[in-house]
Amino acid sequence: MTRRSNFFSSELSKVHKKSKSFALNFNTSLNLFTDDCKLRNLRPHTISYYLNELSVYERYLKEQNLEPAPSKVTRDHINKNIILYMKEQGLKTVTINTRLRAIRSYFNFLYKQKYIRNNPMDDVKLLKDRKAIVQKFSQNN
C-alpha cells in the first residue's frame, strides 16, 4: 500500500485563510463585544464597566490622532500611546490596570472570534503596583 498524497492541502490552506477578519470600525466591534457579553449573561454592572473603560480608551486614541479601529491598533499603540499617556496624566496604577483589563477582554473577544488577525494585548502586562508599607502598632505607643 502506498501512502495517499495530500492533494487537497493547497486548497484547504486557501479555505483556512478566509476568515471573518474584515475592517471593523470601533463602534461595530464594540456592539459585537457587548452582544457577546449579554449572551454570556454578564452582570449589567460588568457590561457598563466594559463600555465605560472602552469609551475612555477610544477617547485616548482619538486625542492622539490614532485610528481606534481594532485592526489598526498594535502592541506599540497600547504600550506607548495608551499606558504611557495614562501615566503622564497622573493616573494611579490601579486605575491603569483596571482599564487594561477591559481592553484585554475586548481584544481577546475579537481575536477569538477572528475579527482581528493579531491580538495587540498578547504580551502586554499589567503594571506592578507598589504598595505602601503600613506601620505596625507597637506596645510602646
Residue 8 lies in a domain: no
Residue 11 lies in a domain: no
Task: Mark out the alpha helices in the chain (DSSP H runs).
Answer: 9-17, 26-39, 44-63, 75-76, 84-88, 93-112
CATH number for position 74: 1.10.150
Q: Domain count of the chain?
A: 1
Residue 53 lies in a domain: yes
Q: Could you read off the pLDDT of 4-27 as tens digits, one per residue?
A: 665 555 555 555 554 454 578 999
C-alpha 60/C-alpha 22 separation (Å) is: 24
pLDDT over 60 at 114, yes or no: yes
- pLDDT the model gives residue 34: 97
pLDDT over 90 at 84, yes or no: yes
Residue 121 lies in a domain: no
Q: Could you read off the pLDDT of 23-77 as tens digits, one per residue?
A: 789 999 999 999 999 999 999 999 999 999 999 999 999 999 999 999 999 999 9
pLDDT band of residue 130 (cuts 50, 70, 90) is confident
* CB 56, CB 71: distance < 8 Å: no
Residue 10 lies in a domain: no
- pLDDT the model gives residue 131: 75
Which residue, among 109, 120, 31, 37, has the nearest Cα to 74 in the 3D structure? 120
Give the range of the structural domain holding residue 97, as residue numbers without chain letter: 21-112
Which amino acid appears at position 36 of this protein?
D
Residue 44 lies in a domain: yes
Which of helix, strand or coil describes residue 82? Answer: helix
Residue 58: count other Cβ atoms within 10 Å of its Cβ. Answer: 15
Residue 1 lies in a domain: no
